[in-house]
Structure 1
Amino acid sequence: MPYDGSSSWDVLAGIKKFEQDYEQYDAKNASSAAFAHADGDLPNDRLTRLYNYLINVSIATRWAIFIVPILIAIWIPGVLSFTKFPEAEVWGIRLLWWSIWLSVVWLGWWASLAVALIVPYILRKTVGIMAVGTRQYIDWFAALYRYVALFTWCLAMWVSFAPLIGSKQDAVVGGNSPKIISLIQKLLFALFLCAGLLLFEKFSIQWIAWKFHELSYADRIAQQKFAVKVLVTLYRYSSNILGRSDTLNATNATTSQPLQLRRIFKEALKGVRIAATSTTTAFGNVASEITGTSVLQPDSPAAMIAVESANKSRLLARRLFYSFVKPGATGLYMEDIAKYFPSQHAAHAAFALFDKDANGDVTRDEMEAACVEIHREQLSLERSMSDMDSAVGRLDNLLMSLYVVIAALIIAVALQAQLATLITGFGTLLLGLSWLIGGSLQEVLTCIIFLFVKHPFDVGDRITILTNTYTVKEILLLSTVFLDAQGCIVQAPNVILNTSYIQNMRRSEEMSEPFPFDVAYDTSFEQLEALRDKMLEFLKTEKRDFLPAFDVVVADFPNQETLSLKVDIKYKSNWQQGALKAKRRNKWICALKISLAEVKIFGPKGNPNAVATPERRTLVPWDEVKAKEEVALREESTKLKTPTGGWQLLDKNTFISKHLHCSSF
Structure 2
Amino acid sequence: MKAILIVFELILFVSIIGLLISSLTVNKLKNHAIWDLELWKWCVLALVILCGRVASQWFINIIVFLIEKNFLLKHLVLYFVYGLRTSISVFIWLTLVLLVWILLFDHGYGVKRSSRATSKILHHIITRTLACFLAGAALWLVKTFSVKLIGVSFQCKRFFDRIHDSIFHQHVVQVLSTPKKKMDKKFRNINTAMQFIFTIRDVKKVKRMTEEKISTCSLKALIRFISGSKLSMSNELDDQDDIKSVSEAKHLADKIIANIGSDPQSEFIEKDRLLEFLQNERHVKYMLKLFVGAARSGKINKSDFKKWVIKVYKDRETLKRSLNDAKTAIEELNRILSAIVIVVIIIVWLLVMGLLTYKIIALVTSQLVLLAFMFGNTARTCFEAIIFVFVTHPFDVGDRCIIDGVQMVVDEMNILTTIFLRYDNERIYYPNSVLATKPIGNFFRSPPEMGDSVEFAIDVFTSIEIIAELKSRIKHYLERKHKHWSKDHILVVKEIENVNKMEMALYVTHTINFQDYAKKVKRRSKLVLELKKIFEDLGIRYYLLPQEVRIRYTGPLPS
Q: TM exceeds 0.5? A: yes
Partner amino acid, structure 1, of 2:46: L
Tell me, in whole angstroms, the C-alpha distance in 2 between the residues paired with 1:454 and 1:467.
20
Partner amino acid, structure 1, of 2:116: G
Aligned to 2:100: 160
**Contact 1:355/1:361 (CA < 8 Å) preserved in 2?**
no
Aligned to 2:187: 252
Partner amino acid, structure 2, of 1:106: L
Rg larger in structure: 1
Matches within 5 A, 1:124-523: 124=68, 126-127=69-70, 130-133=71-74, 135-166=75-106, 167-212=109-154, 216=158, 250-254=185-189, 262-264=198-200, 283-285=219-221, 321-322=271-272, 353=289, 356-357=292-293, 361-365=297-301, 383=320, 384=322, 388-417=326-355, 426-509=364-447, 510-519=449-458, 523=462
Give, in angstroms, the shift of residue 247 of structure 1. 13
Tell me, in whole angstroms, the C-alpha distance in 2 between the residues paired with 1:604 and 1:503.
40
Give, in angstroms, the shift of residue 186 of structure 1. 2.0
- SS of residue paired to 1:552: strand
Alignment of 1:526 with 2:465, yes or no, is yes
Aligned to 2:533: 594
Residues 357, 70 of structure 1: CA spacing in aligned structure 2 closer, same or farther, 3 A cutoff?
A: closer
Aligned to 1:21: none
Aligned to 1:271: none
Residues 283, 385 of structure 1: CA spacing in aligned structure 2 closer, same or farther, 3 A cutoff?
A: farther
- SS of residue paired to 1:458: coil
Tell me, in whole angstroms, the C-alpha distance in 2 between the residues paired with 1:260 and 1:435.
51
Residues 399, 423 of structure 1: CA spacing in aligned structure 2 closer, same or farther, 3 A cutoff?
A: farther
Residues 511, 539 of structure 1: CA spacing in aligned structure 2 closer, same or farther, 3 A cutoff?
A: same
Tell me, in whole angstroms, the C-alpha distance in 1 between the residues paired with 2:429 and 2:423.
14
Residues 284, 454 of structure 1: CA spacing in aligned structure 2 closer, same or farther, 3 A cutoff?
A: same
Give, in angstroms, the shift of residue 245 of structure 1. 5.9
Aligned to 1:50: none
Alignment of 1:546 with 2:460, yes or no, is no
Alignment of 1:580 with 2:516, yes or no, is no
Give, in angstroms, the shift of residue 445 of structure 1. 3.3
**Contact 1:518/1:604 (CA < 8 Å) preserved in 2?**
no
Tell me, in whole angstroms, the C-alpha distance in 2 between the residues paired with 1:181 and 1:287.
48
Please, which of 485, 489, 507 is the counterpart of residue 568 of structure 1?
507
**Contact 1:390/1:474 (CA < 8 Å) preserved in 2?**
no
Give, in angstroms, the shift of residue 200 of structure 1. 1.2
Q: Deviations over 1:46-66 (max 9, x none)?
A: xxxxxxxxx8xxx4x662246
Tell me, in whole angstroms, the C-alpha distance in 2 between the residues paired with 1:478 and 1:372.
35
Q: Deviations over 1:497-534 (max 9, x none)?
A: 22222111111112122323445565444333322211
Aligned to 2:6: 63
**Contact 2:13/2:47 (CA < 8 Å) preserved in 1?**
no
Q: Deviations over 1:315-371 (max 9, x none)?
A: 8x999933999xxxxxxxxxxx9xx9xxxxxxxx98994562499544244997899
- SS of residue paired to 2:424: coil
Tell me, in whole angstroms, the C-alpha distance in 1 between the residues paired with 2:67 and 2:315.
26
Give, in angstroms, the shift of residue 600 of structure 1. 2.0
**Contact 1:286/1:378 (CA < 8 Å) preserved in 2?**
no
Please, which of 43, 46, 64 is the counterpart of residue 102 of structure 1?
46
Partner amino acid, structure 1, of 2:152: W
Aligned to 1:535: 474
Tell me, in whole angstroms, the C-alpha distance in 2 between the residues paired with 1:545 and 1:188.
69
Whichever structure has more strand as a proportion of its residues is: 2
Q: Deviations over 1:530-587 (max 9, x none)?
A: 2221111011122222112443344466656655443234212211122332332233
Structure 2: gaps of 5 or more residues: 169-178, 203-215, 225-251, 263-267, 276-280, 546-559
- SS of residue paired to 1:432: helix
Residues 378, 494 of structure 1: CA spacing in aligned structure 2 closer, same or farther, 3 A cutoff?
A: closer
- SS of residue paired to 2:507: strand
Q: Percent identity?
A: 19
RMSD: 5.2
- State TM-score, norm by structure 2: 0.67
**Contact 2:419/2:428 (CA < 8 Å) preserved in 1?**
yes
**Contact 1:247/1:319 (CA < 8 Å) preserved in 2?**
no
Residues 177, 194 of structure 1: CA spacing in aligned structure 2 closer, same or farther, 3 A cutoff?
A: same
- SS of residue paired to 1:284: helix
Aligned to 2:213: none
Residues 512, 87 of structure 1: CA spacing in aligned structure 2 closer, same or farther, 3 A cutoff?
A: closer
Residues 413, 287 of structure 1: CA spacing in aligned structure 2 closer, same or farther, 3 A cutoff?
A: closer
Tell me, in whole angstroms, the C-alpha distance in 1 between the residues paired with 2:295 and 2:16.
80
Structure 1: gaps of 5 or more residues: 1-34, 36-54, 229-243, 267-279, 289-308, 326-336, 341-348, 607-665
Residues 165, 283 of structure 1: CA spacing in aligned structure 2 closer, same or farther, 3 A cutoff?
A: farther
Give, in angstroms, the shift of residue 462 of structure 1. 0.9
Residues 175, 95 of structure 1: CA spacing in aligned structure 2 closer, same or farther, 3 A cutoff?
A: farther
Tell me, in whole angstroms, the C-alpha distance in 1 between the residues paired with 2:162 and 2:65.
25
Partner amino acid, structure 2, of 1:515: V
Residues 597, 324 of structure 1: CA spacing in aligned structure 2 closer, same or farther, 3 A cutoff?
A: same
**Contact 1:357/1:543 (CA < 8 Å) preserved in 2?**
no
Give, in angstroms, the shift of residue 184 of structure 1. 0.8
Give, in angstroms, the shift of residue 175 of structure 1. 2.8
**Contact 1:140/1:282 (CA < 8 Å) preserved in 2?**
no
Partner amino acid, structure 2, of 1:472: V
Does 1 or 2 have the higher relative contact order (CA < 8 Å, sep 6+)?
2
Partner amino acid, structure 2, of 1:548: K
Aligned residues: 468
Residues 502, 97 of structure 1: CA spacing in aligned structure 2 closer, same or farther, 3 A cutoff?
A: same
Partner amino acid, structure 2, of 1:542: K
Give, in angstroms, the shift of residue 463 of structure 1. 0.5
Higher mean C-alpha deviation, range 202-211 or range 394-403: 394-403
**Contact 1:206/1:281 (CA < 8 Å) preserved in 2?**
no
**Contact 2:495/2:504 (CA < 8 Å) preserved in 1?**
yes
